[in-house]
Structure 1
Amino acid sequence: MTNALVVGRTLLDNIDFLGDQIDALTLRTTKAVEELPCPDPNGASQPGAGADLVAKLVTIPGVGVRTAQMLPAELGPDMTVFPTADHLVSWAKFAPRTVRSGGKNTSGPTGKGNPWIKGAIGEAALSASRSNTFLGARYKRIVKRRGRKRALVAVGHSLLVVIWHLLNEPGTPYTDLGSDYHQHLVDPTRRTGTWSASSRPSATTSPSHRQPDQQLRPTPGQRWAQPASARGDFPFRP
Structure 2
Amino acid sequence: MYRNRIVAGLDVHKDSVFLCIMRHDVAIIFEKTYGTLTTHLRQMREDMLRHGVTECAMESTAVYWIPVWNELCEHMSLRLANPHFIKQLPGRKSDTKDAQWIAECQLKNLIRESFVPNPVVQDMRKLNRRIFNLNEDMSYNKNKLDAAMQRCGFRLSNYVSDTGGRSYQNVVRAISRGETDAGKLVALVHGRTVNKHGRDTVMGAVTGNFSTIDITVIRQYLAMIDLINVQLDECQKMLTAMCEEHFAEQYRRLQTIPGVKERAATAIIAETGADMSLFAKATNLVGWCGLKPRNDESNRKIKSNRITHGNKYLRQILIEIAWVASRTRNCFFSNFSYVQVTVKKKRKMKIQVAIARKILVAVWHMLSNREDFIDIYLKRLEEQRLIQQRIEQLESTMTV
* TM-score, length-scaled by structure 2: 0.38
Structure-1 residue corresponding to 2:298: 101
Query: Alpha-carbon deviations, 1:83-108, whole Å to 9, x = none?
Result: 12122112222223332122234651
Change (3 A) 1:158 1:4: same
What letter matches 1:173 in structure 2? D
Within the alignment, does 1:146 sit opposite 2:346 as a pair? Answer: yes
> Aligned partners of 1:107, 1:181: CA distance in 2, in Å?
36
Aligned-partner SS, 2:295: strand
Structure-1 residue corresponding to 2:14: none
Structure-1 residue corresponding to 2:375: 176
How far is the alpha carbon of 1:155 from its aligned partner?
0.7
How far is the alpha carbon of 1:116 from its aligned partner?
0.4
Aligned-partner SS, 1:113: coil
Within the alignment, does 1:164 sit opposite 2:364 as a pair? Answer: yes
Equivalent of 2:315, from 118, 126, 143? 118
Equivalent of 1:24, from 209, 234, 239? 234
Moved more, 80-89 or 103-112: 103-112
Structure with greater helix share of residues: 2
Query: Alpha-carbon deviations, 1:38-80, whole Å to 9, x = none?
Result: xxxxxxxxxx3x1331121111012231111011121125422
Identity %: 30
Structure-2 residue corresponding to 1:134: 332
How far is the alpha carbon of 1:30 from its aligned partner?
2.1
What letter matches 2:254 in structure 1? L
Q: How does 1:1-238 map to 2 (within 5 A)?
A: 3=212, 7=216, 14=224, 16-35=226-245, 48=246, 50-105=247-302, 108-132=305-329, 133-143=331-341, 144-170=344-370, 172-178=371-377
What letter matches 1:134 in structure 2? F
How far is the alpha carbon of 1:12 from its aligned partner?
6.0
Larger-Rg structure: 1
> Aligned partners of 2:328, 2:377: CA distance in 1, in Å?
11
What letter matches 1:166 in structure 2? M
> Aligned partners of 1:168, 1:11: CA distance in 2, in Å?
46
> Aligned partners of 1:97, 1:5: CA distance in 2, in Å?
50
Assess if the C-alpha contact under 8 Å between 2:258 and 2:328 holds in 1: yes
Query: Which of structures 1 and 2 has the larger relative contact order (alpha carbons within 8 angstroms, sep 6+)?
Result: 1
How far is the alpha carbon of 1:113 from its aligned partner?
0.9
Query: Alpha-carbon deviations, 1:176-205, whole Å to 9, x = none?
Result: 1126959x9xxxxxxxxxxxxxxxxxxxxx
Structure-1 residue corresponding to 2:34: none
> Aligned partners of 1:107, 1:141: CA distance in 2, in Å?
25
* TM-score, length-scaled by structure 1: 0.60
Runs (5+) with no aligned partner, structure 2: 1-177, 180-211, 384-400
Assess if the C-alpha contact under 8 Å between 1:137 and 1:180 holds in 2: no
Query: Alpha-carbon deviations, 1:1-23, whole Å to 9, x = none?
Result: 59489747666655554443333
> Aligned partners of 2:290, 2:219: CA distance in 1, in Å?
47
> Aligned partners of 1:57, 1:88: CA distance in 2, in Å?
16
How far is the alpha carbon of 1:145 from its aligned partner?
3.7
Change (3 A) 1:34 1:147: same
> Aligned partners of 1:159, 1:167: CA distance in 2, in Å?
12
Aligned-partner SS, 1:100: strand
Assess if the C-alpha contact under 8 Å between 1:137 and 1:179 holds in 2: no
Change (3 A) 1:154 1:181: farther
Structure-1 residue corresponding to 2:134: none
Structure-1 residue corresponding to 2:86: none
Runs (5+) with no aligned partner, structure 1: 36-47, 185-238
Structure-2 residue corresponding to 1:197: none
> Aligned partners of 2:335, 2:378: CA distance in 1, in Å?
5
> Aligned partners of 1:154, 1:83: CA distance in 2, in Å?
21
Change (3 A) 1:51 1:5: farther
CA RMSD in angstroms, aligned pairs only:
3.0
- Aligned residues between the structures: 169
Change (3 A) 1:5 1:148: closer
